[in-house]
Amino acid sequence: MQWGAGLQKRSVHEPAMAAARDFDLRSTLSLIVRQGSLQRREKSWIRSTEGGSARQPNTLPTLLASVSTLALLLLPISAQAQAVIDDGDTVTTPGPYPNPWIVSGGISVGQRSSGTLIIQSGGRVESWDSAIAENAGSSGTVTVSGAGANWTLTNGTGWPLIGELAIGKGGSGSLTIENGGTVNSGSANLGFQSGASGTATVTGPGSYWDSGSLNIGRLGGTGTLSIADGGQVISGFSSIGLSAGAFGTVRVSGANSLWHSGMGLYVGEAGTGSLTIENGGRVSSWFVHMGFSAGSSGTVTVSGANSQWISYSDLNVGVNGFGRLTVENGGTVEAAVSSIGYQAGAVGTVTVTDANSRWTIGGDLTVGRSGDGTLAIQNGGVVSTATTWIGSDTGGSGTVSVKGTAAARGALETSQIRKGSGTATLTIDGGVLRATADQADFLSGFSSGDITIDDGGAVFDTNGFDIGVSAPLEGPGGLIKHGAGTLTFSGPNTYSGGTTVVAGEIIATTTGALGTGPATVTGAGSALTFNGSGVSAAALPITLNDSAQLNFQNGANAGSAQIEIAPDATPSFGGGVRFAGGSSAGNTTMTNALGSGYVGIYFYDTSTAGSATITNRNGAITRFYNTSSAGSARIVNEDNGATFLSGQSTAGTATIINRATGALYFTGSATAAAAGVINEAGGRVDLAGLFAAGTAIGSLSGAGDVSLAQANLTVGGLNRNDTISGVISGTGTLTKAGSGVLELTGSSTLSGPTLVREGRLAVNGSLASSPVTIADGAYLSGKGTVGGIIAQSGATIAPGNSIGTLNVSGNVNLTEGSNYQVEINAAGQSDWIVATGAAALSGGTVRVLPDQGTGYKADSPYSILSAQGGVNGVFTGPVGGEFAFVTPTLHYSHDTVTLTLVRKVQPQPPEPPTPPHPPKPPEPPPPLAFHSVADTKNQYTTADGVEALGAGNRLYDIILGASAAGARQAFDALSGEAHASALSVAYEDGRLVREAILTRLREPLDSGLPTFAQGSYAAAYVADSPQAPPPVTVTPSFDPSRSALWGEGFGSWGKIGGNGNAAGLETSTGGFIFGADAQVGESFPSRSGRWLHPHHLRHRRRALVGQQRERLCSTLRLVLLGSAQPAAGRGLCLARHRCEPHRPLSRLCWRDRHVLRWLDRTGLWRGGLPDGPRPGAAGAVRWSLGVAAAHRRLPGGGRARSAHRLRPGSGSGHHDAGPAGRGPPERHGPADRARSHRLAPCLWRR
């Protein structure tokens, strides 16, 4: 049936067309169902052939839908019809009739008002270009819900995905795809026109929208797309915020929720776009541009675990506009290449934060290509890229910050970070730079100030690769090295937070590469290496933990670093400190306390310990290999710590100290010939591992044990005085070399021979199993036990250390030319050799010495040698010693040799012949007197005084065994002439103080002292005119508060010659005197009183008297004086002197000193005539006369001294001395006063 004007059904009880099969709406006619229902039976159709429409404006139930709505079926014929659902109508399909609905035109849901289309499970709708909320002010809603529900938009040709869907074309439209519903469209726009808004929601598993291009917010409208709970959208080119003024928002949320843009995706193409991917949602596209045009803004947030955004090509954040990308809470982003801040004027910002958040870029990442780019990686976020460019092009500015904490570090994984021609800033604050390839210049092109390590520090993870850094690293933070592989620093750095190697190796090829903070190397296989000539660790503190390594090689040195190998919790082989290739330990301090034998300090090749200080404790070791040297180091072994000298190594000039349970081991052919070894109690020196015949130790001392095994040991080459109190064991040979003294005090079990090649060997312990051979020029002494004595020609044996007995558990052989040095004292004691075997005397000399200056006992035998096996032979040489008053004599018995000092006697003249008379016993001649060697009267008198003390007096006994020269020197020292010399010097120096005082008194009072309140007054001398009235007199007033301070220094030096009796004298003195002047009353109108404050004045003089040494004197003076003008003045000077003469008897090994004190007094007087006027012109001179005198009294008389203690006794007397003189005329100005000047001294003694 064809109607040209239209068909209307008005009754709700009967169908409008009961019998008709087809209705053909032609031209512009419409089919309007106003009441009742429009029914389709069998294969009848409502059709429009010329652009007409079928419309049901009211909400009546129909057979075409399950709810009151419009059902529009468009057949695929050449003319297009539009189905409009408006005026609040709702159409639901499928219903009873029809399904599928095929509309050969578009559907407008909400054309002018509002409309709703619901496509339920199993329902299908096909249409051409369609709109939801087509015009401004309209609203439309389409819901496609349930399995099988589908809306497909075509163009009538049978090709799908060609029809356009506008959601919110002019009004407010929404599309919901849910519960497995699907929509297919050729393109789609959400929020098409300005002011329009379109919302699409795809939610639930199986819900699906397949579209061509998809624009969310197109021509100034606002579009919103939500994909949730497993819903999926597939599109071609897509844009969020397509044009200026447009706003687009997309949210993809939930597991399996997906938006795939098969072409490109613009977020903020020219408008404002926002994309949120969360809770496991996924978005992918061929490329991505964010903030594409100038003025645009694109923001993307990828948040949550399994949330993912993939760009198979570029991902650019801020192309010409503004772009911001945030990856957080475990979200991930992938792209082929990326840029942040692409073009000039663009601004891009990317933040990757939180654990498991990751941005992976297969190619390069550019931060700030030509625009401004910022990349922030923090709190566990990761960015992975091939090469990272920062500020790549001129004008570009890139800022990269990698932050985090130890628990959550941000990380940038890259093969290289490069600065281009723009501006670059790289900040690491707790973050990680992780290498992805070998790269010699990992941070390329950066300059000072570009890279900052902030307080949180920087982690370099080499990740199994070898990388190098030459760019300067600055800032307060520290650096941590992770991962296998090497990190090489070839430039100096100034970061101050320290360096830690947790895994792999850091190599420093320049000094200062590790900044200024401490360095720590932790873990087996971790290493820190200084490599290259001149490369130094400087003053770095370095700590090794858990079998880590510290290496110095190819000429590097440890500088003054403080190196500690900490106790090892998990030891493994290969840790410790290694020096190789000519490297040096410098003057570092190394503490090796690992706790096991796996880690130590090792020197290889030609390396040296330099002047380092090394401590091995807790089982730690230091080992020298090859031809390495300990240099001048100080090495301490304690608590089972040890040092090994192996191969051909040498201890250099080092000092090696073995403390309790510490040890020094020699192996191979190592030597310590120029080194010193202090082997303390509990320590050990072990030569068992030597391959060569023996070794040498320059200096060996201490209470530790020494094991020679079968090796030979030479000690003492450093010419030091050493004491070994430990046990020396073994069968090898012990050789004493050098000029020093080696004292053995331990009970040694050495069974090999001992050779004293040089210097002195003092055995005060036991070498009972070792025979001792003394070579030419060498000495053997001590009071211990030796296994035998062989004294070669030129050798000297001196038992005891002072007086003592040397025991020999064997034979004694004193060859011709040997010397036996014996000390004796006045108590009858002497050195003694006591042997269990025989004594063979093949010649030699006995030399007698006093025991430390105690003197001799005359005419009393001293036992000096006894041998149980008998004494064979005699001493053929003379008995040594220069004696002025005694003659030493030897006596021999079967097993003993004794020495007697016989007092010399006065030579006696021959007796004249006398007549025969009965014989009478001859009287013994008198002993030779002490004064027989005197050269001066003082010596002669002193010698008699000493001899009068008698035998048993210490001084007498000393002089008794003296030589003639020694006795004379002693007499000079004891004579007391120094006391008289000191008194003369005291008098002479006293004039310096006196002259300083008189010099002050000569100056006029008004020159420096304001004596009156009115000050001074000047006057002119003029002739009096006749009958002139007397001049007006100004009466000055007295001001007692006025005073003046003054001071003056003085000094002198001189020499007094000696004569044949008294010695000469050299003296020097110096000091400073100060005082105060004040007026003492008004009764002195022309002169103020003067007085001095008490003061200290110290003279320090050094005098040489005869052969005596210097003596020191000091003086304290107090001066009080006053004066009046023009009357005379007087004063008193008191001086206290103290002298401490030193009187050593150097030739007799004795010294003494005493203190000499005295007080002298000096009286001063000065006076002068008043000045007389001298007429003349202004400024004429005035002349005055003055006189001064002084009287001085010094102590004198005798000084009694005890010859035993040589202390001053009592004495009395005095010396008076007085200078007097007349001062020559002096020239003064008008205001000056007369004063005395030059004094002539005179002196007498009584």
1056-1104 pLDDT, tens digit per residue, is 776 667 666 677 777 767 676 666 555 444 333 333 333 333 333 333 3
Q: Does 1074 share its domain with 1153?
A: yes
In the prediction, which pLDDT does 21 show? 34
User: Which DSSP category does 47 fall into?
Assistant: E
pLDDT at 9: 33
Sort 306 into a burial class: Cβ within 10 Å, 0-12 / 13-18 / 19+.
middle
What confidence score (pLDDT) does residue 1193 get?
A: 59
Verify that 902 and 982 share a domain, yes or no: no
| CB-based contacts of 840, cutoff 8 Å, min separation 6 | 811, 812, 813, 814, 872, 873
pLDDT digits (tens, 9 = 90+) for 413-462: 999 999 999 999 999 999 999 999 999 999 999 999 999 999 999 999 99
Better-scored residue on pLDDT, 281 or 1070: 281
Mean pLDDT, to the nearest integer, of 579-599?
83
Which of 921, 950, 975 is where one domain is finished? 975
1064/1164 same-domain check: yes
601-657 residue pLDDT tens = 999 999 999 999 999 988 889 999 999 999 999 999 999 999 999 999 999 999 999
Q: Dump pLDDT digits (tens) for 378-421.
A: 999 999 999 999 999 999 999 999 999 999 999 999 999 999 99
Pair 891, 1006 in one domain: no
Q: Residue 1006 carries which DSSP code?
A: G
CA 1022 – CA 1017 distance, rounded (Å): 16
Q: Is the predicted pLDDT of residue 816 greater than 50, yes or no?
A: yes
The pTM of the full predicted model, rounded to 2 decimals, is 0.68
From 948, 975, 1002, the end of a domain falls on: 975
Is a pLDDT exceeding 80 seen at residue 743?
Answer: yes
Residue 256 domain flag: no
pLDDT of residue 396: 96
Domains in the chain, number: 3
3-state secondary structure of 995: helix
> Do 839 and 987 fall into the same domain?
no
pLDDT in the model for residue 1090: 39
Same domain, 901 and 981: no
**Average pLDDT of 464-488?**
97
If one compares 822 and 27, the residue with the highest pLDDT of the two is 822
DSSP string, 381-435: -EEE-SEEEES-STT-EEEEEEEB-SSSB-EEEESEEEE-SSEEEEEEEBEEEEE
Q: Is residue 492 part of a domain?
A: no
Q: Do 970 and 981 sit in the same domain of this protein?
A: no
- With 70 as the cut, is the pLDDT of residue 1105 above it? no
Q: Is residue 785 part of a domain?
A: yes
Q: In this structure, are 878 and 959 located in the same domain?
A: no
Nearest residue to 532 via CA among 497, 500, 508: 508
Which residues partner with 273 through β-bridges?
Answer: 248, 298
> What pLDDT score does 731 carry?
95
CA count, 13 A, side-chain hemisphere, 44? 18
- Tell which residue, 43, 50, 55, has the closest CA to residue 24: 50
Residue 364: pLDDT above 60?
Answer: yes
Pick the closest to residue 554 from 575, 577, 579 (CA basis): 579
Residue type, 594: L
Residue 1040, pLDDT above cutoff 80: no
d(CA 469, CA 827): 83
- 520 — pLDDT class (breaks 50, 70, 90): very high
For 770, the domain range is 753-908
**Whether residue 967 sits in one domain with residue 985:** no
pLDDT tens digit sequence for 115-156: 999 999 999 999 998 999 999 999 999 999 999 999 999 876
> What end-to-end distance do the CA atoms of the chain give, in Å?
177
CATH code for the domain in which residue 1221 is found: 2.40.128
Give the residue with greater pLDDT, 1217 vs 1075: 1075
**pLDDT tens sequence across 884-913:** 888 888 899 999 999 887 787 877 676 666
Closest Cα partner for 340 from 327, 350, 352, 351? 350
Judge whether 1004 lies within some domain: yes
Report pLDDT for 1065. Answer: 67
For residue 1049, give every residue at least 6 positions away whose Cβ sits within 8 Å of its Cβ, in sequence order, or none.
1070, 1071, 1072, 1073
Q: Are residues 1117 and 1129 in the same domain?
A: yes
Q: Please tell me the distance from the alpha carbon of residue 237 to that of residue 263, in angstroms, as a whole number.
A: 5
Residue 382 placed within a domain: no
Q: Which residues contact 953 (CB under 8 A, 6 or more apart)?
A: 1203, 1204
Question: How does pLDDT run across 308-326, given as a tens digit for each residue?
Answer: 999 999 999 999 999 999 9
Let me know how long the chain is: 1246
Tokens encoding 901: 């000092």
Backbone angles phi, psi at 854, to 5 degrees: -85, -15
Would you list the DSSP string of 135-190? STT-EEEEEEESTT-EEEEB-SSS-BS-SEEEESSSSEEEEEEETT-EEEEEEEEE
Distance CA 269, CA 237 (A): 12
940 lies in some domain? yes
842 vs 14: which has the higher pLDDT: 842
Residue 783 pLDDT more than 50?
A: yes
* Per-chain mean pLDDT for the chain: 79
Residue 523 is assigned to a structural domain of this protein: no
Confidence of residue 1201 (pLDDT cuts 50, 70, 90): very low
Instruction: Measure the CA angle with vertex 509, ends 506 and 511; round to 5°.
Output: 105
Same domain, 936 and 1003: no
Distance CA 271, CA 321 (A): 10
pLDDT attached to residue 656 = 96
Cβ burial, residue 1209 (10 Å; 0-12/13-18/19+): exposed
Query: Are 861 and 896 found together in one domain?
Result: yes
Q: How far apart are CA 386 and CA 573, in angstroms?
A: 37
pLDDT at 33: 38
DSSP calls for 890-930? EEE-SSEEEEEEEEPB---PPPPP-------PPPPPPBPPG
Tell me if 455 is assigned to some domain.
Answer: no
To the nearest 10°, the Cα dihedral for 690, 693, 698, 701? 70
Residue 5: which pLDDT band, with cuts at 50, 70 and 90? Answer: very low
E-assigned strand segments in 1057-1149 = 1065-1078, 1090-1091, 1101-1103, 1111-1122, 1129-1145
* Residue that has been written with the tokens 């200062």 in this structure: 512
Range with lowest mean pLDDT among 26-40, 68-82, 810-824, 1025-1039? 26-40
Which regions of 509-616 does DSSP assign to beta strands (E)?
519-522, 527-531, 541-545, 549-553, 562-565, 576-580, 589-592, 600-603, 613-616
Could you tell me the two tokens for 515?
């900044």
Mean pLDDT value across residues 1174-1187 = 49
